[in-house]
A and B are shown apart, each in its own frame.
Chain A
Amino acid sequence: MSTLDEIKNALAELNEDEALKLVSSALAAKLAAFEILKACQEGMAEVGRRFECQDYFVSDLMMSGEIFKQISAVLEPELKAGGTQSAGKIVLGTVKGDIHDIGKDIVVNMLKSANFEVIDLGVDVPPEKFIVALRETGATVLGMSGLLTLAFDSMKTTVQALQTAGLREKVKIMVGGGPVDGNVCRFVGADDWGADAQHAVRLAKGWLQPIHP
């Protein structure tokens, strides 16, 4: 088994010490940081699959997020040393009336590891706060998260607020969270929805880096 496969498996198995040790070994062996990152993302995808199959619990998802966050911190200097500039800016938050952030935080870490500049507004974010952040940062992508179905009306209100503020045409909007799907995306007026954190990264790349490897 290759080192990259071992990294993927260690993350999928939630073996924190082993995963970090393997990442350090891989860097010492001059493996490319972005290849190591890709292996970690595959490991995260496997964790998600095991959660859907009921092999893993919510705490396991969170544990994988913690391991990924540590690995991202180790890889960050190497990724930046590669000379790549920021992939773009994204404003992200859990909408008003919802205080859950587990999934959102995993998405934030995944986007940051993909070299996006993420403006994380936290939870229970009212529409005005999203608008201020978009204006101040010049970000052209907005991500809204929610775990409760109460969040759907808040997402819709936020999209309408962007319309009123004259920002809707300038900003691409993605929505995500456990209950979110295509129906919800249409209901709230977003451009797309992310089934998981990896999907969110692909959407962001598609919007901010139309031509990317």
Chain B
Amino acid sequence: MTDGTRERFVPCGNDRFGFQERGGVKRHSLLQAIVPRVKVRMSPSIKIIGCAVMLDEMRSFLPPGADVQVFGMSRHARPKQLKLDLQEAVSDADGTYDVILLGYGLCSNAVVGLRACHSRLVIPKRHDCIGVLLSSHEAYAAEMHTEPAFFLTRGYIRGYREDLSGPADEFDRVAAHHGTERAEAIVGKMMRPYTRLVYLQTSESNDAEADRQYAFEMAARFQLRYEERPGSPELLRQMANGQWGREFVVVEPGDEVTLERFLN
């Protein structure tokens, strides 16, 4: 983990974006120190760094002018590398943007330890994208503590199609190298813990029916009971709109994302 610790900067008496209002004009103390005569624009500058699964749900309500950086879904399989990659992306954006919105939850622990010295970090206070899209802790707990489920969203499906990283792709890959019998044993073991496939439907799109069909066929192929649940990108919409209540981990410049912020 790269230690990006720099001199801590904590503005005082500022609004949640670090602005002070003086004489009817909003000023940012850091920027004022650099260019004291410039009147800073009202809206904070925003960088969004997120997983394709989350950002796929945010397309219709991205903040105007926000810069977006997308990380592929398959990076979650290597969480330690993902942590390094996220810190690099945060460090690159640090100070250039007032706020960095992270399209992740706790996500395999990849966000813990992230730090920006000059920008605020905002992360949904959820274990993962399923937790974000189910919108409430209660709904998430209800799903995760009943029958084991293999979840799909349209972002997952898109990622599997692009990366060829879905269970069916793994089966084909193993079969090609080691034979069908081996593929059945290995991918069978991968899917064995699950009794159902839950397709989390968030919003209608041109591909909705094709996505549903993909999910249905995967369930049939791996003998999982097919279920659908309504999902919602509302938490992501709140994040994009700056409505950062207690459902978010908000990390001030210079502070570090900690595990306790998610689990306590």
A residues with CB within 8 A of B: 14, 16, 51-52, 54, 57-59, 62-63, 66, 97, 99-102, 123, 148-150, 152-153, 178-181, 183-184, 187
Contacts and interface: CB of A to CB of B under 8 A. Distances in A.
Nearest to A100: B193
24 contacts: A51-B78, A52-B80, A52-B81, A54-B74, A54-B78, A57-B165, A59-B173, A59-B186, A63-B178, A63-B182, A63-B186, A66-B186, A97-B145, A102-B189, A149-B106, A149-B107, A149-B108, A149-B127, A150-B127, A181-B112, A183-B113, A183-B258, A183-B259, A184-B109
A51 B107 CA distance: 19
Contacts of B77: 58, 178
Nearest to B177: A14
B79 interface: yes
A83 to B, nearest CB: 35
A153 B263 contact: yes
Looking at B80, B110, B185, the one whose CB has the most chain A CB atoms below 10 A away is: B80
- DSSP majority for the B interface? helix
Interface in B210-264: 258-260, 262-263
Nearest to B185: A66
B113 A178 contact: no
Contacts of A184: 109, 259
A66 B189 CA distance: 11
Contacts of B187: 59
Contacts of B78: 51-52, 54
B186 A179 contact: no
B170 interface: yes
B70 interface: no
B148 interface: yes
Given A102-B190, A184-B259, 14 more contacts: A14-B178, A51-B78, A58-B77, A59-B186, A100-B193, A148-B144, A149-B106, A178-B77, A178-B108, A179-B79, A181-B109, A181-B112, A183-B113, A183-B259
B128 interface: yes
A62 B189 contact: yes
B40 interface: no
Contacts of B112: 181, 183
Given A66-B185, A179-B79, A59 B144 contact: no
Contacts of B260: 187
B80 A181 contact: yes
Contacts of A52: 78, 80-81
B189 A16 contact: no
Which of A63, A97, A123 has most chain B Cβ within 10 Å?
A63
B109 A180 contact: yes
A146 to B, nearest CB: 10
B177 A178 contact: no
Contacts of A149: 106-109, 127-128, 262
A153 B141 CA distance: 13
Contacts of A102: 189-190
A7 B78 CA distance: 27
Nearest to B78: A52
Nearest to B141: A150
B174 A63 contact: yes
Contacts of B144: 97, 148, 150
Contacts of A178: 77, 79, 108
